[in-house]
Amino acid sequence: MGAADVAFARGTRQASRMLASALGLAMFGLVGAAQGQAVHPRSHLDFNFSNPGARSLGFGGAFAPLADDATAAFANPAGLVQLVRPEVSLEARGWSSSAAFAAGGRFDGTPTGLGIDTRPGLLLAHESTSEAGPSFASAIWPRGRWTLALYAHELARADSFTESQGLFLGSGGFVREPASRDRAKLRLHTFGLAAGWRANDRWSFGLALVRFDLSFTARSELYGADPNRPESSYEPIPYTPDRLLGIGTMSIEGSDTTVSSGLLFTPHERVSIGLFLRPGASMTANAEVTRSGAPGRWPPVDDVTNVPSAAGAGLAWRSPSGRLTLAGQLDYLAYRGFLGSLVENFLGLHSRGNPEARPYQSAWEGHFGGEYALLSRRPVVAFRAGAWVDEHSGDLEHDRVLHMAGGVGVAGERLQVDLGADVSSVLDTVSLSVIYSF
C-alpha cells in the first residue's frame, strides 16, 4: 500500500475484526467477573496510513516530495501549485487481505489432552476478505500563484466476521474463554478544501480544511460451556441460544474537522523537499454490554476515539534527462491517545502481559520508490517501483511485513491513466487512477 500518510488502509479489515474481538473480551471480563474468571485480551488494533492515487501507490508511498498530480490535495497541498491547468481525478481501489486471528488453542499453560485441549499455542485461522470501489475524487483550479482543490476520499472500508472457540488458560486453575462470534463494520470518509500558494520559484505552501466522517459498529456474542456438564469445558462450544452468555456492542458515529498543512521546497531544478502535517480527528465512542439471563445491562461507557495523526518529510531527485525520478520519505505516526480509556482501559488491551496486547507505539516508517519514463514516446509511458516495511502490522503471524509496490502510467496531452499495486503477505492492494485536464 502507499505511504504512511493519513488514510486508513493497511489494516482496516484487521482493525474492525480486532476491535470487535476486544469488545468480546471486555464483555468476557464483565461476565467473567461474576464468575471469578480473569481477563486475557487477545487483540491489538493497528492502522496504516496511505496516500490516494495509483502513482503514489507505485512509488511505495514516497510521494510528499513529488505531489505533482491531483492527489496532492491530500498528500501535500503545497504541491498543488505544480498543476497549471484545471483537472479532475478519479480513483478506484481493490483490497484483498488474509489476516490471521486466534480461533482457539492455548494461551498459556500445558494442554490437558482432553477434548480439543490437545496442543500448546494458539490455533490460528485466516479471515480472507476482498473489497473494491471508488476511493478518491478531486477537482483542481489553478489561479495565478494559487491553486484550489476540492476532494473526497474513502479512507477506510471494512466488513468483518470471525468465530473463535475461546482460549485455554493456565495449567492449575483451569480457565477457558467463552467462544465468540464477532461482527464489525467500519467506514471513514474525508472531504477536503485545499489550497496551495507559490511564494516564489523555490517555496510553496499549502493548507487543507478536512472533515472526517466516521461510522463504526461492532457486535460480539459470547457462548459458554454447558454448566451442567463439566466435561463440556473441553468440547467444542456450539453457537446456540442456550449457550449464549452475553452480547456486547460498540458504536462510533461522529464528525470532526481538522487543518492539515504542507510545504514544498525546490532548492535545485532536479531536487525537491516536501513536508506535511495532518492532525487526527476526534470522535465519540460508545460501548454497552448485556448479559443473557440477567436483568438490565451494564451502564454504557462513552469516550473519545482519536484518528491517529501523521507527519512526514521526503526528498526527491530527478535525473538531468528527466527520465529517472527517485524519492524517499520518512513518516511519523502518532498513536498517542489513539483509542482513549474506552478501549485501552475498559477493553483492557494492555493487561496481564499478553504478547498480543501490545501497547500502541508511535513509530517512524521509511518509504522508497522510483520512476523511469519513456519520454521519447507519445503518449509518455512511465514504470514505477517501491517498497516499505510495516513495523506493526497487527497480524498474529506477521508483526513486521515487507510491502513491495509497482505500477505503470500513460500520460497524453490531457488524459493520464495510472495503475498501481502493493503486495505483501497480509494485504494486497490494486489502484486505478484517471486524471483529465482541461
> What is the helix (H) or strand (E) element at residue 297, kind and residue range?
none
- Cα dist from 377 to 9, 323, 387, 411, whole Å: 34, 12, 27, 10
214 pLDDT band (50/70/90 cuts)?
Answer: confident
Among the listed ranges 30-44, 186-200, 244-258, which one has the minimum average pLDDT value?
Answer: 30-44
Q: How many CA atoms lie within 13 A of 21 on its CB side?
A: 30
pLDDT at 181: 87
Q: What is the dihedral of CA 331, 337, 339, 343, to 10 degrees?
A: 140
Among the listed ranges 268-272, 292-296, 399-403, 425-429, which one has the minimum average pLDDT value?
Answer: 292-296
pLDDT at 139: 96
359-378 tens-digit pLDDT: 456 778 889 999 999 988 88
**Is the torsion defined by CA of 221, 224, 228, 234 positive or negative?**
positive
The rounded distance, in Å, linking the Cα atoms of 170 and 37 is: 12
152 φ, ψ (degrees, to nearest 5): -135, 140
pTM of the entire predicted model: 0.79
Rounded to a whole number of angstroms, the CA Rg of the chain reads 24
Residue 351 identity (one-letter amino acid): S
324 φ, ψ (degrees, to nearest 5): -105, 130
The more confident residue out of 242 and 305 is 242
144-194 tens-digit pLDDT: 899 999 999 988 777 778 888 888 887 655 678 888 888 888 788 899 999
The more confident residue out of 72 and 40 is 72
pLDDT at residue 205 above 60?
yes
The string of DSSP letters for 131-162 reads EEEEEEEEEEEEETTEEEEEEEEEEEEEEEEE
Q: Where are the beta strands (DSSP E) in 224-243?
A: none
Average pLDDT over residues 20-40: 39
The rounded distance, in Å, linking the Cα atoms of 255 and 257 is: 7
Average pLDDT over residues 71-89: 93
Angle value at C-alpha 327, between 323 and 331, nearest 5 degrees: 165
Among the listed ranges 100-114, 161-175, 183-197, 319-333, which one has the minimum average pLDDT value?
Answer: 161-175
Average per-residue pLDDT in the chain? 78
Angle value at C-alpha 16, between 167 and 70, nearest 5 degrees: 150
In terms of Cα–Cα distance, which of 218, 221, 278 is closest to 245? 221
Whether the Cβ atoms of residue 404 and residue 384 lie closer than 8 Å to each other? no
Whether the Cβ atoms of residue 1 and residue 429 lie closer than 8 Å to each other? yes
Q: Which residues face 147 on adjacent strands?
A: 142, 196
In terms of Cα–Cα distance, which of 291, 294, 282 is closest to 342? 282
Max CA pair span of the chain:
80
Average pLDDT over residues 241-249: 83
> What is the helix (H) or strand (E) element at residue 108, kind and residue range?
none
User: Could you tell me the domains of the chain?
Assistant: 12-437 (2.40.160.60)
Residues contacting 241, CB < 8 A, separation 6+: none
pLDDT at residue 2 above 60?
no
Among the listed ranges 15-19, 133-137, 199-203, 259-263, which one has the minimum average pLDDT value?
Answer: 15-19
Residues contacting 73, CB < 8 A, separation 6+: 80, 138, 140, 149, 150, 151, 192, 194, 208
